[in-house]
Amino acid sequence: MMRKLVVFLILLSTVFASCEGYVYSAVHDFGSACVYPECFGAAGRYKEAAVCYANKSNPDFNMDQARVYFQKAANYYIQNIVNLPIGGDYPLRAPSYEYAGDMTVQMGNYAQAKKYYDAAIAEYMLVDNFVKVSEVRLKDATMGQTPVVPVTAEATSSQNLYLGALFFIIAVIALAMFFFRKRTPPKEEFQPIRSEPSFKAEPRESKEPAKDSAKEKMRDKIRKKYGLE
């Protein structure tokens, strides 16, 4: 059972080593339906998938796929705002608009991205987050000049995070198997009992009958002396 689990984790690590692993996580970790707040998490996974496909140093490099997931991430960020409950988790509205703008910039749709950035600025102003207001304004002013999403760095760090976590789990399971086997006493092999030859003590021969009494000795002696034998 433990060996099968290790093999499964190794196979799973190869899935997450590819860009499709982020899509797998978006669906299985957050669900296919865009429900608050899972919708925000799924948008982040689709963003990572898009960045992964847009990374030219990645074997899975595919700009068509990257655009698909940039758009899907933007849609999920906006849908997250729609699903926000009234009076609940209000600060999430601003970053949702901001990140939707980031995704739209990656697709070259600067007019739509500006609308999202303006909405994000308005939301940050409501919570007096002037640092973020300045950051979003800078993004708005430099659209098309510099990439909003650091494609190479983000894709590499995200993949390394997944792989590092998976290999850590594999190492822990391997150590557990090692100590389990070490503590488990080996099964005793059945060894047939060797029957030792039994030596029976042979009865000793009875000693010669005791010599005749003194009277008989004397009689024999007299017979020999007088030739009566």
> In the 8-state DSSP scheme, what is residue 189?
P
Tell me the whole-structure pTM to 2 decimals.
0.60
Q: What per-residue confidence (pLDDT) applies to 5?
A: 47
What six digits make up the tokens of 115? 């609308």
- Three-state DSSP state, 127: coil
pLDDT digits (tens, 9 = 90+) for 26-53: 999 987 777 777 888 999 999 999 999 9
The pLDDT tens digits of the residues spanning 120-151 come to 999 999 889 999 999 999 999 999 887 777 66
- Give, rounded to a whole angstrom, the gap between the first and last alpha carbons of the chain: 102
- Geometric angle at alpha carbon 47, from 41 and 53, rounded to 5°: 145
Going by pLDDT thresholds of 50, 70 and 90, the confidence category of residue 15 is very low
- Residue 31 is assigned to a structural domain of this protein: yes
In a domain, 92, yes or no: yes
Specify if 207 maps to a domain: no
Looking at residue 18, its pLDDT comes to 85
Within-domain flag for 71: yes
Q: How many domains does the chain have?
A: 1
Higher pLDDT: 194 or 15? It is 194
Secondary structure of residue 83 in the 3-state scheme: helix
Instruction: Confirm whether 101 is domain-assigned.
Output: yes
Q: What's the CATH code of the domain at 130?
A: 1.25.40
The reported pLDDT for the residue numbered 33 is 73
